[in-house]
Structure 1
Amino acid sequence: MNNSNTPAVEISVSDVRQQIYCASPNNGPGKASQTDLGTTFHRLIASLLHSSERELSAIFSGASIDDWVAEMQDLAFRKELGPFLEGHAAALHGRGAAVLNLWTAVGEATRWLAELFWEHRQWQLREGRHFNPREFADWFQNEVPLRLELTDTNWTCPVVLTGIADSLLTLPQGRRCVIEYKLGKTSPEADLCQAALYHRMLGEGETNSLAVVSFLPEKSEQLVDGAKLGEAQSELKALIGKLAGVIKTPASRPAEPQKAAAQKPATPPVSKEIGELGRLLKSALFEAGCDATFSVTPILGPTFVRFTVTPSRGIAPKKFLRCADLLQVRLQLERPPVIQIGSAITIDLQRPDRQIVPWSSVELPKSDPLHGCAKVLVGVGIDGKLRTADLADTASYHLLVAGTSGSGKSEWLRTAVAGLIASNTTEQLQVVAIDPKRVAFHDLRDSPYLRRPVVFPGDEDADILEVFDELIDEMERRYVMLQGCSSLSELIDRRGEPIPRIVCVCDEYADLMLGSASQRSAIETQITRLGAKARASGIHLILATQQPSRKTITGAIQTNLPGRVGLTMTSATESRMLFGEPGAENLLMKGDLLYKDIGDPKRYQAVYLSDQERRAIYAGSVVAETV
């Protein structure tokens, strides 16, 4: 039985959906939704449904459905879409495909809403009733919070499942329709999972079906049978228990056998599925003229399976690099495998059942009571160990991050900041957050760790040159304080009191270069100066960009930002800009990354941090263990 005095563990629908999405082999191939555009789309729909009586009368005064659609689209553009596009022109530069998706979704959604109102009016006229568009609009609820407590005899405590439905349409007959707004590709498995959870949270029985309407950006409607949802719910409950960490350990399993199990080799036995994947790989290599033998047992990481091969006599190792495209076709992979040549040849293939690395599974670096912790979470390697980048180390005192939209770049930055906050007190760490896209660090706005309010370039009070000038002034002030100490750590030891490290993180610093030539030159000079001198004073830069190019990654920046985090990139050229070699263009999105400081790039999977966990950490309510 569950302990009634044990507080419930809270988990969100988005956490469960993310686990399903990452493990699904049928994910859509397109780029993921972009948060700022998605938020605008949500706000636009809500704005239309809460239009004034005068606006509604204007929309529904036309004689045909096409007139209604045209009026609704015109209102949507005037109220929300037009002002957003005009006000964010600089931030949307280079994101034409994403903006086109938004445009398409707005057109689809407005037509769908107009058709619903039209059908309702026709029904009202047949019943001899007066058509009242306000009454129908009120049947919609936006941003509906849902909450459900789950219990199980095999759980140590209850689990509270939370979620927010984008919209909920409740008809007079009691039928309900959940509306989800997505502007990217999706996963059928994840969609079914989300529908099943909402169905359960709404208290619908197995006799009631649930309709789900999505915009991807084209409209997609799905009516899911209640019985099918019931089957999915029973399977999801087991997954929820696992994610929440509340499944009881069998009482018959004593502590000593657990210790013995922990001492077994890290590599598990090869499953039948992985064995078949290896057989197909060997056959494809032979077809490509790269006959080889497997040197060791395949190693299973959270994202990919690594095969280590030895080429047969007379076959040059470099020949393996040229067969990646053939392997992708023969093995039906989403992307070409990552092939690396070192002391051996390794071939990384996408794992059939890809896993996420939840924040709760990671042990944060220890924090010193005086110095705090200067280690940034990079990701988990194929050996299951967490890799960090030490800002106090000369190999990684500043970090340069790159990755295309949907690669997980912004999520990696947010998690990196969360890891630093969770490992330090406000006396040991100060954060300067620069957010050109205006969506990356909103949860950080009220954090006690901020040295200054989040900087949104373009606002009247957000002079980016002033921000960097302030950091340079602080750097010079600290150099005076050092007085013979070679680093901030030595100064802290000498004074016996904390001095905060300052970490300046910028989500899309290429946007800062969109101004005049004089401003670009000034910003580059400031970044170069901080990159060259700020380390010893305890000031560090973490700069990110979607499109690494010679324009954004100049020679001076290359030299002075030694640590490199590369998520999925659009081309081998971009990978070479960051690492000096290709490879990042074949990564698998969603936090799959390469990290390099000294030596060759190594592959890791970023830690997944839920929205709820991130908000708690940013607020300063989670602190790492000290040594």
Structure 2
Amino acid sequence: MPGKGTIGIEVPNQNPEMVSMRSVLATEKFQNTTMDLPIALGATGQGKSVGINAILVSLLYKMHPAQLKFVLVDPKKVELTLFRKIERHFLAKLPGEADAIITDTKKVITTLNSLCIEMDNRYDLLKNGHVRNLKEYNQKFISRKLNPNDGHRFLPFIVLIIDEFADLMMTAGKEVETPIARIAQLARAVGIHLVIATQRPSVNIITGTIKANFPARLAFRVLSKIDSRTILDSGGADQLIGRGDMLLSTDRDPMFEEAARMIVMHQQGSTSLIQRKLKLGYNRAGRIIDQLEAAHIVGPFEGSKAREVLIPDEYSLEQFLSTLDKEK
């Protein structure tokens, strides 16, 4: 078992059972759970689109239309058409656009840039409302402590879902990657979330920037161990049955906080320092550095130089880590 001194043995179930959507939605654990939305990957026909549909339905089940809006991007034009029926209540679209489900690449770029503007506007509202996150802001607004005449408004969650991310990366590249990375990095605190799916798990599509900003990763069956490592940083997805079963990688490394404290104490953002001090392998130390970058504890890669440490002292780090825990 990764990170533990134990061995896990998988035993196949002789009497497999169908797990219905209703049986999951009815549980108390589902009602109370909170988790980052994922990046999903899988070969054709392995259940990826069904998984996206399940995420959509689960959110529809939990939220009122006033609390939630979807932005749906479907380059293949057929995967998300089922959700046209909820356009009036749940789908958000740009002013002047007739179609709520976006299929044109140019419109996708415009939509992503518009979401970045909305994100910045929401941060301004949070700052003016003297709160730190969307939940506190909406509670304050509902309690009539924020004046609508000053521009304040109830802020619904916005969930952006992109069904075939590879098509966008191949046609638009950096024009798509940059706003998506920015939304994934910064938008969670203001209630904007992102789900992306692809069937092409190459490093040109799932770049280091994209991976670093998606702590939750969902892998359906893929064709090779290399594809599995691209999404999960480990093998295993290539050995799935291919009947909708999947592997889920969530949250940060168990050594994340210890590595952060050591990096800030030494003021040196180095993979080799994590390897040496925490006695970890290169791959795991590299993943922790990526997670530290995504959390804005260290700066971006600068060639042979050590990364810049963005937090000046251990006291500031402890405050920052407690904020991260509250956001989870």
Do 1:431 and 1:451's aligned partners in 2 also have CA atoms closer than 8 Å? yes
Aligned AA (1:454): I
Does 2:244 align with 1:591? yes
Residue 559 to residue 540, structure 1, CA distance change in 2 (3 Å):
same
Aligned AA (2:108): I
Unaligned runs of 5+ residues in structure 2 are 94-99, 144-153, 255-328
Q: Match for residue 8 of structure 2?
A: 346
Do 1:365 and 1:423's aligned partners in 2 also have CA atoms closer than 8 Å? no
Which whole-Å CA distance do the structure 1 matches of 2:210 and 2:66 have between them? 29
Do 2:25 and 2:31's aligned partners in 1 also have CA atoms closer than 8 Å? no
Do 1:350 and 1:588's aligned partners in 2 also have CA atoms closer than 8 Å? no
Q: Match for residue 576 of structure 1?
A: 229
Which whole-Å CA distance do the structure 1 matches of 2:32 and 2:215 have between them? 14
Q: Match for residue 465 of structure 1?
A: 109
Which whole-Å CA distance do the structure 1 matches of 2:15 and 2:32 have between them? 26
Does 2:197 align with 1:541? no
Do 2:163 and 2:196's aligned partners in 1 also have CA atoms closer than 8 Å? yes
Aligned AA (1:597): T
Aligned AA (2:103): F
Q: Which has the larger radius of gyration?
A: 1
Q: How far apart are residue 590 of structure 1 and its match?
A: 2.0
Counterpart pick for 1:474 among 114, 118, 136: 118
Which whole-Å CA distance do the structure 2 matches of 1:388 and 1:582 have between them? 31
Does 2:150 align with 1:507? no
Which structure's residues are more often helix, by fraction? 2
Do 1:566 and 1:584's aligned partners in 2 also have CA atoms closer than 8 Å? yes
Q: How does 1:22-61 map to 2 (within 5 A)?
A: none
Which structure's residues are more often strand, by fraction? 1
Residue 388 to residue 455, structure 1, CA distance change in 2 (3 Å):
farther
Q: How does 1:514-553 map to 2 (within 5 A)?
A: 514-515=170-171, 519-553=172-206
Structure 1, residues 84-119: CA drift from partner, whole Å, max 9, x if none? xxxxxxxxxxxxxxxxxxxxxxxxxxxxxxxxxxxx
Aligned AA (1:344): T
Does 2:67 align with 1:449? no
Residue 583 to residue 600, structure 1, CA distance change in 2 (3 Å):
farther
SS of the equivalent of 1:345 reads coil
Q: How far apart are residue 436 of structure 1 and its match?
A: 1.5
RMSD of equivalent CA atoms:
2.5
Aligned AA (1:347): I
Structure 1, residues 360-409: CA drift from partner, whole Å, max 9, x if none? 2224477xxxxxxxxxxxxxxxxxx7698725xxxx2x421111112111
Aligned AA (2:6): A
Q: How does 1:304-319 map to 2 (within 5 A)?
A: none
Q: How far apart are residue 350 of structure 1 and its match?
A: 3.7
TM-score between the two structures when normalised by the length of structure 1: 0.35
Which whole-Å CA distance do the structure 1 matches of 2:42 and 2:10 have between them? 19
Which structure is higher in RCO with an 8 Å CA cutoff and minimum separation 6? 2
SS of the equivalent of 2:218 reads strand
Unaligned runs of 5+ residues in structure 1 are 1-338, 367-384, 602-627
Structure 1, residues 324-360: CA drift from partner, whole Å, max 9, x if none? xxxxxxxxxxxxxxx9784432232443432221122
SS of the equivalent of 1:565 reads strand
Residue 418 to residue 346, structure 1, CA distance change in 2 (3 Å):
same
Identity %: 31
Q: How does 1:8-407 map to 2 (within 5 A)?
A: 342-364=4-26, 390-391=34-35, 396=36, 398-407=37-46
Structure 1, residues 6-62: CA drift from partner, whole Å, max 9, x if none? xxxxxxxxxxxxxxxxxxxxxxxxxxxxxxxxxxxxxxxxxxxxxxxxxxxxxxxxx
Q: How far apart are residue 535 of structure 1 and its match?
A: 0.9
Aligned AA (2:48): K
Q: Match for residue 58 of structure 2?
A: 419
Which whole-Å CA distance do the structure 2 matches of 1:520 and 1:555 have between them? 14
Aligned AA (1:482): L
Counterpart pick for 1:495 among 125, 129, 141: 141
Residue 556 to residue 340, structure 1, CA distance change in 2 (3 Å):
closer
SS of the equivalent of 1:390 reads coil
TM-score between the two structures when normalised by the length of structure 2: 0.66
